[in-house]
Amino acid sequence: MLAEIRNAPAPAKLNLFLHVTGRRPDGYHELETVFQLIDWCDRVHLRRRDDGRIEREGALPGVPPEADLVVRAARLLQAQSGTPLGADLALDKAIPMGGGLGGGSSDAATVLMALNRLWGLDWPDDRLAALGLRLGADVPFFVFGRTAYATGVGERLEPLDLPPCWYVVVAPHVAVPTAAAFAAPDLTRNTEPLKIAGLSRDDRVWQGGNDLQEVVVKRYPEVAAALASLKEAAVAAGLDPARTRMSGSGACVFCPAPTEARAGQMAGEVLRREVGTVRVCRGLSRHPLGSRQVG
């Protein structure tokens, strides 16, 4: 049995489109989206403890321990599995918070997958994903670990094969609370689904949009500026500005590019506009960890 796992990757995600197709009686929203992993990663470090304690080394500013998804994930898996073991947890945070990139959910999923191996539990992925849904709607996707077409609250997942792609991601200097974006009275909640499950046609993905984008852009000028700058950069690079959009509930915006060179050209244009942190990211077809690949 392993005693320690260091530098376990927790990759960010993009929503290539995000449709709000309805609202459930419990207040949650029905969604349709395509999740795409990218190589912008947090890193999680875990060390097994024999005394059953879960200890977090360091802390995230503004996040109390009881709300820390890394700690919550570890405690939930510990309680549900009945293991007598514990863990020391540390997190190197790189993915911006409040950016719509799923960083917290990805951290939680990586903790579940890594502790599954560290504690010798040997839980299957579907069981980990079901547990992860109790932590957040995006957690099951990160456990699923590959490009996916998603419905429900985001937990019903089907694998989707898309061509290799690079993305320019811009993180404005603002955080957007997810709950506030979904609660906006002017949010459209009845978008007709694209129903692209089982298809691998790239053009179908880009027929969609992000229903939250208009709501967020109206309320956050920083997001509007980043989106406008990225669209201008896409045109200058000879790429389709209509494929520039916001990820999740914001604040990050992105645009795809067929090659790293074209993405770099676009990123250079955006950097000159000083609208936020700019990063060239490679799309990942598979999670770089995977519960069977830890260690």
CA distance 279 to 258: 15
Query: Which sequence positions are flagged as catalytic?
Result: 13, 138
Show Cβ contacts of residue 292 under 8 Å, excluding neighbours closer than 6 positions.
none
Dist. CA 293–CA 217, nearest whole Å:
40
What b/e sequence results for 272-295 when a residue is b if at least 16 CB atoms lie within 10 Å of its CB, and e otherwise?
Answer: ebebbebbbbebbbebebebeebe
- Looking at residue 174, its pLDDT comes to 97
Report how far Cα 287 is from the mean position of its chain's Cα atoms. Answer: 12
241 phi and psi, to 5 degrees? -70, -20
Picking from 295, 279, 286, the residue whose alpha carbon sits closest to that of residue 7 is: 295
Q: What is the mean pLDDT of residues 272-280?
A: 95
| Backbone conformation region of residue 154, classed left if phi is above 0, alpha if psi is from -120 to 50, else beta | left
| Selected residue with higher pLDDT from 58 and 165 | 165
Query: Residue 47's pLDDT band (boundaries 50, 70, 90)?
Result: very high
Compute the average pLDDT of residues 123-136. 96
| Alpha-carbon dihedral sign for residues 287, 157, 91, 178 | positive
Q: Check residue 199 and give its pLDDT.
A: 54
What single letter denotes the amino acid at residue 136? G
pLDDT for the residue 56: 93
Q: How far apart are CA 33 and CA 157, in angstroms?
A: 10
- Respond yes or no on whether the N-terminal peptide bond of residue 179 is cis (omega within 30° of 0): no
d(CA 218, CA 294): 43
For the cut 60, the answer to whether the pLDDT of residue 73 exceeds it is yes
Share of the chain above pLDDT 70, in %: 96
**Tokens at residue 243, please?**
């494929």
Give the model's confidence band at 204: pLDDT under 50 very low, under 70 low, under 90 confident, else very high: confident
Q: Specify the pLDDT at position 198.
A: 52
What single letter denotes the amino acid at residue 20? V
Does residue 118 or residue 66 have the better pLDDT?
Answer: 118
- pLDDT for position 292: 42
DSSP secondary-structure letter at 146? Answer: B
List Cβ neighbours of 131 (8 Å cut-off, separation of 6 or more): 76, 77, 80, 112
Residue 293 has pLDDT above 70, yes or no: no
- Mean pLDDT to the nearest integer, 177-182: 92
126 burial (CB, 10 Å; 0-12 / 13-18 / 19+) is exposed
Contact 246, 212 (CB under 8 A): yes
Instruction: Kindly provide the b/e burial profile for residues 198-227, where b requires at least 16 CB atoms within 10 angstroms of the residue's own CB.
Output: ebeeeebbbebebbbbebbbeebebbbbbb
